[in-house]
Structure 1
């Protein structure tokens, strides 16, 4: 099916397509208005080396920002996986952090930086949850080290690099709902239009007579009933299609046939042939031989009389 056929079907079934398109637009606009917007914010934290490790690496200096070794990146990844565990999520929900969040290593970063991303409907509560999540990450890191008997001088610290940012509107999830509501209804309208068109075509094909003639055309009622049909060809001649021959009844002796019986038999054996009117010649003149006035153009033939009435003109 090409593009032109598709457009013709949609045009013919406009009473299905147009209402559903209007309904799809209404559902899309209604979904956009009814569904509340969602917001997202993020904060970034960083792990700092222990005081003993910082002095050893910096030759006695106490500045932890001078030492970001590879072990801190592994520790940051460990902490991120811990924060996204099922037990931690349930604990945070009980503490009031009901928004969805994600913890991951910062992209294109060369240090132990973790990005905490939160998504929710309430902007104020979202900012408070982001700050609470960053604080909980520091508490969790200290608890893990205390459970493993790490001394204070060797413990890794956590600091906040970027505070919670102003929440931004997220349209991705909202657009998904609009596409599902509006686009699904519009697609349903197109499918219904083609289904109705298919059913209509199937009914039209069934309405066409199954019986066809020799050339593949439907048989005419006259030929189906056994009557004689006349079909002129391009040259103006007459082609007779005769019904199947019926066995003739046993003839009576000549002396027993009445004049009426003989006349009726003669009528049944006679065939009438309609001769087309004469055509003009190439010069626009009629045929050279004039027609006798008062005579009919109907001729009779009777095969059973042995040619006695052949070429007899009616009325002569």
Structure 2
């Protein structure tokens, strides 16, 4: 009975119902245009010890303790203007943040990317992770700069 009375009231005031629906739709559309969705992705890169270090131990995970400094050097390089310019050229709409992952106790570099499209986010993440030189992941103590020079 209450439902029938409610529907009768809606039929009698149909113009208010339509105005409310139109205003709600317009406000919803305006909110979607004003704040478009952002997509985030995160990649983690583990720095590995050199082959010489692995000759003295059978478990490579036990040799990760000395790699914090090379990890911090890599992160400092990615904070430089040169590296920022390269990343902005590769992904102009993305926000890329390279840092040491604090949730782990080892030399893990976290790459956080935020962009307006899912494809752009993954493209920027792949670029940032692949720009970390393989030498730093294999032989971090060789004295090479992150740009390979």
TM range (shorter): 0.5 to 0.7
Contact 1:105 / 1:114 at 8 angstroms: preserved in 2?
yes
Work out whether residues 51 and 64 of structure 1, in 8 Å CA contact, stay in contact via their aligned partners in 2. no
Match for 1:146 among 141, 144, 147? 144
1:139 Cα deviation (Å)?
5.3
Aligned match of 2:41: 41
| Partner in structure 1 of residue 64 of structure 2 | 68
Following superposition of structure 1 onto structure 2, how do residues 1-316 of structure 1 map, counting pairs within 5 Å?
29=28, 31-35=30-34, 36-56=36-56, 58=57, 61=58, 64-69=60-65, 71-94=66-89, 96-98=90-92, 99-138=94-133, 141=136, 145-146=143-144
SS of the residue 2:103 aligns to: coil
Distance 1:83 1:105, change over 3 A: same
TM-score, length of structure 1 as denominator length: 0.33
Q: Distance between the aligned counterparts of 1:44 and 1:65, measured in 2? A: 16
CA distance in 1, matches of 2:82, 2:118: 26
Q: Which structure has more helix as a fraction of its residues? A: 2
Kindly name which structure, 1 or 2, has the bigger radius of gyration based on alpha carbons: 1
Q: Which has the higher contact order (CA 8 A, sep 6+)?
A: 2
* TM-score relative to the length of structure 2: 0.66
Structure 2: runs of 5 or more not aligned = 1-23
CA distance in 1, matches of 2:143, 2:77: 13
The 2-side partners of 1:89 and 1:140 are apart by: 21
Q: Are residues 139 and 33 of structure 1, via their aligned partners in 2, closer, same or farther at CA, if it must alter by over 3 Å?
A: same
Instruction: Report Cα offsets for 1:180-218 as digits up to 9, x if no partner.
Output: xxxxxxxxxxxxxxxxxxxxxxxxxxxxxxxxxxxxxxx
Number of residue equivalences: 117
- Unpaired segments ≥5 residues, structure 1: 1-24, 148-316
CA-based RMSD of the aligned residues comes to: 2.8
> Which whole-Å CA distance do the structure 2 matches of 1:90 and 1:103 have between them?
14
